[in-house]
Structure 1
Amino acid sequence: MFAETTVMAKFLIIDDHPLFREALHSAVELAYPDSNTQDAASLDEACGYLAKDSGYDLALLDLSIPGVRGMEGLLHLRTHFPRLPVVVVSGNDDPRIVSQVLAYGAAGFVPKSSKKAALADAIQHVMSGAVYVPEDMDDAQTALDDKTQEMIQRVASLTPQQMKVLKMICDGLLNKQIAFELSVGETTVKAHVSEILRKLNVFSRTQAVIEISKLEALGAIEPVLGEAPDDAPKAN
């Protein structure tokens, strides 16, 4: 039984499936009967709402919305709206995915198979300032070793433009080629590369590629650095 609250909370549901948006609405209303909840069927739509209104208390994000691959949606929100807590609600509850979600800064993870009461409990848990993971998934937080978790967090600290440059470095492109692809000056690319090496705590492009390859081998980074669809949200 959930106690009534006088807090006028504001939520953003980001999911392209109307039926599941309705289910999330029901869970939000159970946890916060007087809340104000907005729907978004795409990441672009969600970012439009967030750009106009900074008053949202929590976003509930489906990882598999159209035009977004892997962790791109979560990373985009964490980069552009860092003060907004994000709970990932996903049909993929593989422990490695849950671990990645938490490493990339999500405030919680809830399987889509969860019952309404469990969803409501997760929402209240995160709104209280805690990180939420279902009890039967507690071991997901240790699914990746500390060194891997640290590198994932370093990668997550890159800006969208730095992420693009890192992808091109891993593809073997030279600074001149990267500059051409991004329509920027080579000096700008060099600055990005230097900052990428600093954030990843490596000393060369080769070492950066090796570290990323290790993450790819573990299945911990490929969704982030993989090719995005043509209609993926454009990062500034």
Structure 2
Amino acid sequence: MNLAPQPQALGISEHLRVLIIDDHQLVAEGLRASLRQQNLHLDMEIALNCTAAAEILSKDQNFDLILLDLSLPDSKGLRFLRKLSELRVLIPVAILSGSEDPEDVDLALASGACGYISKSSSGSNIYQDISAILEGKMVLPDFYPRYRRRRPVDLQVDIQAITPRQMEVLQLLAQGLPNKKICTKLQLTEDTVKTHLKSLFMHLNVHNRTECVRVAEKWNLID
């Protein structure tokens, strides 16, 4: 566990509510049992996919933290993280993953995660990480190289600015459809499609269709 100071401390209370979004139920239940050994007052709710998590959050947002897996059956974790931001869910989100790829950490942080916790950590270490996050610290895994921690992460990419209609255009673009077929599929004029493509190129900081698809794949924007 490596901690970098953040400007605001959220604070941690004895009673802690955590939502874990992980499709491996045994793993999630094992983590809940392990964390309760650290805090008897911990209340951890489990959602096995993003759909279930969205339903829970539509009724109750009184959680201190969301632990989100990167790989889920109905959506990629980072896409759901960005959706939470769009929906103005103000609960801090940390990635809980078995991936030890530094680029996954880069993408998680750039997507708004407040930390990245390795699933290989012990229950006590994960609880320490949760406590640190709620105290306003950024938690980074030990495998994450120090030289990357001060590196800007794709600052020229503005994922949040992509509209739902532009996302539809992007999905069809990734299928290799030309503009005229995209027009037919979405019932748009060719000028409108060109405008959406121009906006996508700007948001993703690219110059052509091939680069656009490549960067979108990197950011898990394509189904």
TM-score by length of 1: 0.72
Shift of 1:72: 2.9
Q: Which has the higher contact order (CA 8 A, sep 6+)?
A: 2
Determine the structure 2 residue equivalent to 1:158: 162
How many residues of Structure 1 are paired with residues of Structure 2 in the alignment? 211
1:66 alignment partner, one of 73, 80, 104: 73
Secondary structure of the structure 1 residue equivalent to 2:140: coil
Letter paired with 2:212:
I
Shift of 1:138: 4.6
Shift of 1:27: 4.8
Letter paired with 2:82:
L
Matches within 5 A, 1:19-30: 19-30=26-37
**Residues 126, 180 of structure 1: CA spacing in aligned structure 2 closer, same or farther, 3 A cutoff?**
farther
Secondary structure of the structure 2 residue equivalent to 1:119: helix
Secondary structure of the structure 1 residue equivalent to 2:116: strand
Deviation sequence 1:126-172 (CA, Å, 0-9, x none): 112222112442538459x64x6224x42354245433322333545
User: Identity of paired residues, percent?
Assistant: 30
Contact 1:23–1:116 (CA<8 Å) still a contact in 2?
Answer: no
Whole-angstrom distance in 1 between the partners of 2:71 and 2:13: 33
TM-score by length of 2: 0.75
Determine the structure 2 residue equivalent to 1:209: 209
Determine the structure 2 residue equivalent to 1:43: 50
**Residues 193, 39 of structure 1: CA spacing in aligned structure 2 closer, same or farther, 3 A cutoff?**
same
RMSD between aligned residues: 3.2
Matched, 1:224 2:209: no
Deviation sequence 1:15-49 (CA, Å, 0-9, x none): 12122112331354355532332111111000001
Whole-angstrom distance in 1 between the partners of 2:195 and 2:15: 44
Determine the structure 2 residue equivalent to 1:11: 18
Whole-angstrom distance in 2 between the partners of 1:175 and 1:196: 14
Letter paired with 1:158:
I
Secondary structure of the structure 2 residue equivalent to 1:110: strand
Matched, 1:199 2:203: yes
Whole-angstrom distance in 1 between the partners of 2:94 and 2:147: 15
Whole-angstrom distance in 1 between the partners of 2:38 and 2:212: 40
Letter paired with 2:20:
I
Unpaired segments ≥5 residues, structure 2:
1-11
**Residues 127, 142 of structure 1: CA spacing in aligned structure 2 closer, same or farther, 3 A cutoff?**
closer
Matches within 5 A, 1:130-169: 130-139=137-146, 141-142=148-149, 146=152, 149-151=154-156, 153-155=157-159, 157-169=161-173
Whole-angstrom distance in 2 between the partners of 1:188 and 1:73: 27
Whole-angstrom distance in 2 between the partners of 1:112 and 1:167: 32
Unpaired segments ≥5 residues, structure 1:
229-236
